[in-house]
Amino acid sequence: MSADDGGRFADYGPPRRVDGGLRARSTRGAIGVSWWSRRFLEVLESFALGTRLTRGRSYARAGQVLSLDVAPGVVTAVVQGSRAKPYQVSVALPPFPARLWARIEGKLADQAFFSARLLAGDLPAELEELFIAAEAPLFPAAISDLDQRCSCPDVAVPCKHLAATFYLLAEAFDADPFTLLHWRGRSRADLLARLRHLRADAHASTTTQARDGESTAGAGFPADRGGTASPHPTGHNGHSDALATGPVDTGRDGGGWPGHHEADVPAAGAARALADLSVTPLAEAVDRFWLPPVPLPDRPPSLTAHPDLLLRQLGAPAPAIGGPGLVERLRPAYRQLGEE
């Protein structure tokens, strides 16, 4: 960071009042309600930035952020501080290249679970696993992954103006989860259009295969006496997804992208519970068709945090209740409770 004029940081007082700024919807407690916004803030809050985060939340709730814009690879904001001229803030995170996005879209289209949830406007928690399997983590692994800049004179990174931007950005993720994917390089419109195209191609390919199979059977080749020409048995005990109409042709050359190593994408939704089951003909399982063949798995946890994370984020307690030493006395208790 660099100061835009002379003077010491300590010379500047409270922030100037703002009319019409962007205010955080949360008025107290934690900011961010969805698993994806909390996952994003987890990186920031895990670094025990203390009072800077407290002041950043206050800025976000007071409406000190004048504007916030999210573009592929960079978030920009204008934050009103104590000076007459607002501060210019930017948070950069390299977007995924087009070739990598094409591969991820193919993986998303391969499983109807992802297509259905995304087309419904939701980001399933399993999406994070898919990105990790593709060696393209959706969230920054450390705060150092972000290129943070602010025109204020504070040398701390992040300063309270950057922290306020983080919190408003998390609420933007809550309001529209596709904002996160847009920051990583793919807009909602482009992603959903691509998924619809891939799913339509897969459906057309499967329909053609089924018709070819019927023609082959009619020409004197053996056919299933039950009349099942499709290679995808229906029903839970056949464990095929009714929407998963077969492999999706993503137009990829199989070469991946620089530095990538092929990895299996974990199954999601019902496919995760049914993946290891053998195929059972429908006629042999009709009496238990509507019963789940195995217990459904638990949803993956949406947030992992150290037991003493809250203590690390709070400022020093007042002397009347024990001062800084109180935190050190409480920390072992928090850790012990977290292990039980």
Distance, in Å, from the CA atom of 223 to the CA atom of 339, rounded to the nearest integer, reads 59
pLDDT score, position 243: 35
One-letter amino acid for residue 325 of the chain: G
- Which CA distances in Å does 167 have to 27, 91, 124, 219, 234? 12, 12, 22, 66, 46
Show the CA angle centred on residue 217, arms to residues 213 and 222, nearest 5°: 115
pLDDT band at 238 (very low <50, low <70, confident <90, very high): very low
Q: Which pLDDT belongs to residue 337?
A: 80
For the chain, the average pLDDT equals 76
φ, ψ for residue 79, nearest 5 deg? -125, 130
For residues 109 and 198, is the Cβ–Cβ distance under 8 A? yes
Sheet with 87-92: strands ordered across: 65-71, 74-79, 87-92, 147-150
Instruction: Look up residue 16 and give its amino acid.
Output: R
User: Above 70 in pLDDT, residue 299?
Assistant: no
Query: Which of 93-102, 137-146, 189-198, 320-329 shows the lowest per-residue confidence on average (mean pLDDT)?
Result: 320-329
Structure token pair of residue 334: 């928090």
Residues 6+ apart with CB under 8 A from 82: 12, 13, 14, 15, 16
Query: Using one digit for the tens of pLDDT, what is the confidence trace for 13-67?
Result: 788 888 888 988 887 777 888 888 988 888 777 765 667 788 888 999 999 999 9
Q: What is the DSSP letter of 36?
A: H
Quick: pLDDT tens for 244-270: 334 444 444 443 444 444 445 566 555
Identify which has the larger pLDDT, 232 or 8: 8
- DSSP-assigned states of every residue in 88-104: EEEEE-PPPPHHHHHHH
- The one-letter amino acid code at 333 reads A
CA distance linking residue 217 with residue 271, whole number of Å: 30
